[in-house]
Amino acid sequence: MKTAPPHTGHPTWDGPEHRYFVLRTGDGSPTVAHARPGASVPGEPMHSSMGAWAETDYVYGHALRFALERGWPRRLLVVGLGLGYVEARAAAIWAADTGGTPPRGTGAHPRGATDTCILSFESDLFLREALPRWLADPTHTRVPEALRATYADVFAREGAAAAGQLRAFLASGAWRLVDALHERALTAETQHSVAFGAAAAGDPADTQQKVAFTVIAFDAYSGNTSPDLWDEAFLGRFLDRFAAPECVLATYAFKGALRRALESRGFTVERRPGFGAKRECTLAWRVGGA
């Protein structure tokens, strides 16, 4: 994969389907914008220009801490892996919580091999493969130099423990990266109903269960770019499939369709002040079962 010449002063590289631009955000952390092959200007950036890391912590770190404070199992679903900021944040928050309350076993959350797991949806095959490659080998030649530097920058903010945790989750199967979230992903038995990780072999009950998630980080592109993902009926089916009885969902935006889908499933929905230029964002939780 060859690194494209810079067109805008930003580092870029070319993947099979996109040109990628690395942009610096307000807190110094990097973000990436997809663009068409050969484009000279970036498309929609993945994060707020005010701070990619700070936005991740404000929106998704908040939800991760909400679940941790309640002792819920660490079952994180991310829609939109991107650069992996949310997964890195989760690994760092969990790693720092060694003195915290261990996940409790309840009717809502039976203890098992899936007490800690991450499922990341990412439609971009190139990004989906690049982060595991880089975690395995930061000099991997199939990860373009500009992206290697970008990952190094993302993970430098989280400490070595976060990268180590994610590497271990990949090795054990506790972190799975899968293709785009769309209608078929809600029903496909093969991809998402199987147990997470080799550890599940010791816990046959877990191999049968469909994993439901206690933290959902809904970090897809906006409704302009991905309208299907913000449709109320789709969101309802998504929650039915993936939200655990006790669950917190966060996203960087506040949308009526999402609020209605959440409230109809027993979630309390909070309109938080948005990060950066966003007026509002969403934190929604369902505590004590549906």
Beta-carbon-side half-sphere exposure of residue 15 (alpha carbons within 13 Å)? 20
Looking at 118, 229, 248, 249, which residue binds ligand SAM (CB under 6 A)?
229
Alpha-helical (H) ranges within 96-247 are 125-136, 145-156, 160-172, 183-187, 189-192, 204-208, 232-242
How are beta strands 268-273 and 175-178 bridged, if at all? Answer: unpaired
Q: Report the SS3 class of residue 50.
A: coil
Which residues in the 127-146 window bind ligand SAM by CB under 6 A?
127
Region near ligand SAM per CB under 6 A, out of 21-29, 130-138, 175-183, 280-288: 175-183
Q: Is 258 in the site for ligand SAM (CB under 6 A)?
A: no
Closest CB to ligand SAM among residues 118, 247: 118
Which residue in 201, 206, 217 sits closest to 115, CA to CA? 206
Residue type, 180: A
Q: Whole-number minimum distance, CB 133 to ligand SAM, in Å?
A: 16
Instruction: Pick the closer one to ligand SAM by CB: 185 or 269.
Output: 185
Instruction: Give, to the nearest 10 degrees, the angle between helix 62-69 and helix 85-95.
Output: 30
Query: Which strand (E) or helix (H) includes residue 261?
Result: helix 256-264
**Does residue 226 belong to the site contacting ligand SAM (CB under 6 A)?**
yes
Per rule CB under 6 A, is residue 182 in the interface with ligand SAM? yes
Pairing of strands 30-35, 19-24: antiparallel
Query: Does residue 49 touch ligand SAM according to CB under 6 A?
Result: no
CB of 132 to ligand SAM, least distance (A): 15
Beta strand spans in 194-278 (E):
213-218, 243-251, 268-273
At its nearest, how many Å lie between ligand SAM and the CB of residue 235? 13
| Residue among 13, 53, 85, 134 that touches ligand SAM (CB under 6 A) | 85
- Candidate ranges 35-43, 166-174, 219-227, 280-288; the one touching ligand SAM (CB under 6 A): 219-227
Among 4, 33, 35, 46, binds ligand SAM (CB under 6 A): 46
List 22, 33, 63, 79, residue binding ligand SAM (CB under 6 A):
79
Query: In the complex, what is the shortest distance from the CB of residue 123 to ligand SAM, in angstroms, rounded to a whole number?
Result: 4
* 219 part of the interface to ligand SAM, by CB under 6 A: yes
Q: Quote the least distance from Cβ 254 to ligand SAM, whole Å.
A: 16
Rounded-to-integer distance, Cα 157 and Cα 222, Å: 26
Distance between CA atoms of residues 231 and 227, nearest Å: 7
Strands 213-218 and 268-273 turn out to be: unpaired
Q: Which residues contact ligand SAM (rule: CB under 6 A)? A: 46, 56, 79-86, 121-124, 127, 180-182, 219-221, 226, 229
